[in-house]
């Protein structure tokens, strides 16, 4: 398939639908609405911006309520809980649709890449109109047209793709910060993880496409970018002209007007010395690294197929801290992986004590069909897992509250993101290391980076005061 032509073809379909909708609007006097609900990670959040861009180009207006003319769930299946939530909400949506003739319901995202899910939907959720997967989101307009023309359920799932369609409409959630995909898919096959099966093989975008997107965002007012990929450290390996992630970062750093660069996620096995050096000397890369540990036990890490040991991880942390002394480290940890003994768990607790993370996302192991771990015996009993989970969480939180407070009394730059939800007269923003700060301010400050005196730390966030230089 020629993917440049494909983008043009989709734009033509968008234009046709737009015309059709405008005609309807003239007759009914009513604009059609859409609601896009996102589950899962930042990759999905970014996909939802692209879906929203297409829907708005067609002529739908965004609403937050799920009784819109077009409701789309962008799903996640990384843990069973994410999966169950979708079925629950689909049940509720059935009643809404009964009272809203003409409503369309679409499902997409990672969960749709699982054949047994689609089978169940086809059988028992006939009120769903359109089902597609992670590889063909750019086709949304075409799928809507096909549904409107055929009047029957449309299912279009691709097993994998080796191409990337560039240059379709998209709608960014924030005017001042953006998420930019630098790669898609994952080749790591950690034994517990379903992502490689539902997101396909690793594909990097061409550096010129990434740089052009960021330059365009910056000229639109963006000051902070988040570079997205399941394993950003292996960026560029499969390009016609291979390029390292560290080199890409240097090129992004040179973009005038861009103030902050973030990225996620980093796999410890691929984090290079070159990257550490670039991070150490950069003025724009934020002092924050999300470095998923998963387990502190080398024995379990081997069964997880993570390709590093406890010692490798600790040595890497030392190297990073030597180059970037003030960096905030955050992580992901899984509790209750098959075969995890009390001793293995103690190793995880030991790493948490040694590294002293700014925060850690802790997950109870969830068995995912089709992954190697799902076939492993000796699943740990639920009460044992719960007990370990509670102990880990308590340790993570008590360390985090001390670590996060290390900047109390200092003045640091905050990117103001929004008005405070709870208290009038306050705004909320983030430090370079990603810690949240609330301080007095108004809507005119949103999107600006301002110095703030960090008065007191309340566990995992700060209360601050605007800082005015004395003259």
Residues that bind ligand SAH in the complex, under the rule CB under 6 A = 78-79, 192-193, 195, 230-231, 265, 267, 292, 294, 332, 334, 363, 365-366, 368
> By CB under 6 A, which span of 61-69, 75-83, 136-144, 366-374 interacts with ligand F3S?
75-83
List the one residue from 14, 35, 36, 41 that touches ligand F3S (CB under 6 A).
Answer: 41
> Should residue 40 be labelled a site residue for ligand F3S when binding is judged by CB under 6 A?
yes
> Should residue 276 be labelled a site residue for ligand F3S when binding is judged by CB under 6 A?
no
Maximum pairwise Cα distance, the chain: 72
Min dist CB 199 to ligand SF4, Å, is 8
Min dist CB 35 to ligand F3S, Å, is 18
Min dist CB 135 to ligand SF4, Å, is 16
Distance CA 144, CA 149 (A): 9
Task: Return the sign of the alpha-carbon dihedral for residues 57, 261, 199, 242.
Answer: positive
> Which residues on adjacent β-strands are paired with residue 180?
227
Secondary structure letter of residue 27 according to DSSP: H
> By CB under 6 A, which span of 40-48, 88-96, 171-179, 245-253 interacts with ligand F3S?
40-48
Q: Which is nearer to ligand F3S, 43 or 285 (CB)?
A: 43
Q: Which does 77 bind (CB under 5 to 8 A by kind): ligand SF4, ligand SAH, ligand F3S, none?
A: ligand F3S
> Should residue 182 be labelled a site residue for ligand F3S when binding is judged by CB under 6 A?
no
> Should residue 77 be labelled a site residue for ligand F3S when binding is judged by CB under 6 A?
yes
Preceding peptide of 265 cis, ω within 30°: yes
Q: Which residues bind ligand SF4 (CB under 6 A)?
A: 186, 188-190, 193, 195-196, 230-231, 267
Q: Which does 196 bind (CB under 5 to 8 A by kind): ligand SF4, ligand F3S, ligand SAH, none?
A: ligand SF4
Q: Which is nearer to ligand SAH, 267 or 438 (CB)?
A: 267
Q: Annotate 306-329 with b (16+ C-beta within 10 A) or e (fewer).
A: bebebeebbebbeebeeebeebbb
In the Cβ-directed half-sphere of 142, how many Cα atoms lie within 13 Å? 14
Q: Which does 189 bind (CB under 5 to 8 A by kind): ligand SAH, ligand SF4, ligand F3S, none?
A: ligand SF4
Q: Which does 110 bind (CB under 5 to 8 A by kind): ligand F3S, ligand SAH, ligand SF4, none?
A: ligand F3S
Q: Which does 233 bind (CB under 5 to 8 A by kind): ligand SAH, ligand F3S, ligand SF4, none?
A: none
Distance CA 106, CA 185 (A): 22
Min dist CB 252 to ligand SAH, Å, is 20
Min dist CB 295 to ligand SAH, Å, is 9
39 in Cβ contact with 5 (< 8 Å): no
Q: Beta strands of 133-194 (E only): which ranges?
A: 154-156, 177-181, 183-184
Q: Beta strands of 94-138 (E only): which ranges?
A: 104-109, 130-132
Minimal CA–CA distance to 63: which of 52, 74, 78?
A: 52
- What is the Cα 39 distance to its own chain's centre? 9
> By CB under 6 A, which span of 72-80, 83-91, 212-220, 256-264 interacts with ligand F3S?
72-80
Instruction: Show the DSSP H helices in 204-341 as ranges.
Output: 207-219, 245-253, 273-281, 298-303, 310-323
CA angle 196, 200, 204 (to 5 degrees): 105
Q: Which does 79 bind (CB under 5 to 8 A by kind): ligand SF4, ligand SAH, ligand F3S, none?
A: ligand SAH
Q: Which is nearer to ligand F3S, 84 or 394 (CB)?
A: 84
Q: Which residues contact 32 (CB under 8 A, 6 or more apart)?
A: 21, 24, 25, 59, 60, 61, 69, 70
Number of residues lying near ligand F3S (CB under 6 A):
11
Instruction: Report the run of H or E that residue 364 belongs to, with start and end.
Output: strand 359-364
**Contacts with ligand F3S, residue ranges (CB under 6 A):** 40-41, 43-44, 76-78, 110, 195, 198-199
């Amino acid at each position: 398939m020629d993917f440049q032509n494909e983008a043009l073809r989709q734009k033509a379909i968008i234009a046709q639908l737009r015309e059709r909708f405008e005609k309807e609007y003239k007759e009914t006097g009513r604009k059609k609405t859409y609601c896009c609900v996102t589950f899962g990670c930042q990759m999905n959040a970014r996909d939802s911006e692209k879906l929203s861009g297409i829907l708005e180009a067609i002529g739908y207006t965004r609403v937050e309520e799920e009784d819109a003319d077009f409701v789309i769930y962008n799903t996640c299946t990384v843990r069973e809980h994410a999966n169950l939530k979708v079925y629950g909400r689909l049940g509720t949506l059935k009643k809404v649709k009964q009272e809203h003739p003409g409503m369309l319901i679409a499902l997409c995202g990672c969960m749709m890449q699982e054949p047994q899910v689609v089978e169940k939907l086809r059988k028992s959720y006939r009120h769903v109109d359109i089902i597609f997967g992670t590889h063909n989101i750019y086709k949304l307009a075409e799928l809507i047209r096909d549904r409107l023309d055929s009047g029957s359920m449309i299912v279009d799932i691709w097993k994998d793709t080796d191409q990337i369609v560039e240059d379709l409409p998209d709608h960014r959630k924030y005017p001042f910060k953006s998420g930019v995909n630098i790669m898609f898919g994952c080749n790591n096959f950690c034994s517990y993880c379903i992502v490689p099966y539902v997101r396909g093989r690793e594909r990097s975008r061409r550096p010129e496409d990434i740089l052009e997107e960021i330059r365009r965002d910056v000229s639109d007012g963006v000051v902070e970018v988040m570079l997205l990929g399941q394993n950003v450290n292996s960026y560029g390996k499969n390009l016609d002209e291979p390029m390292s992630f560290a080199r890409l970062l240097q090129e992004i750093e040179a973009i005038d007007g861009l103030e902050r660069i973030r990225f996620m996620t980093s796999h410890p096995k691929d984090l290079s010395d070159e990257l550490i050096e670039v991070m150490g000397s950069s003025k724009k890369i934020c002092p924050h690294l999300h470095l998923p540990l998963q387990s502190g036990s080398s024995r379990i890490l081997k069964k997880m197929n993570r390709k590093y040991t406890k010692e490798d991880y600790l040595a890497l942390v030392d190297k990073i801290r030597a180059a970037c002394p003030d960096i905030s480290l955050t992580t992901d940890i899984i509790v209750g992986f098959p075969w995890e003994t009390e001793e293995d768990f103690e190793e995880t607790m030991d790493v948490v004590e040694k590294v002293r993370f700014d925060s850690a996302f802790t997950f109870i192991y969830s068995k995912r069909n089709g992954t190697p771990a799902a076939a492993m015996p000796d699943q740990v009993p639920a009460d044992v897992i719960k007990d370990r989970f509670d102990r880990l969480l308590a340790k993570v939180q008590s360390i985090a509250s001390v670590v996060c407070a290390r900047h109390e009394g200092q003045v640091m730059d905050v990117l103001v993101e929004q008005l405070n939800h709870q208290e009038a007269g306050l705004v909320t923003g983030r430090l370079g290391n990603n810690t949240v700060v609330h301080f007095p301010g108004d809507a005119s400050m949103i999107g600006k980076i301002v110095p703030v005196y960090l008065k007191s730390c309340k566990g995992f966030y700060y209360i601050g005061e605007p800082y005015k230089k004395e003259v």
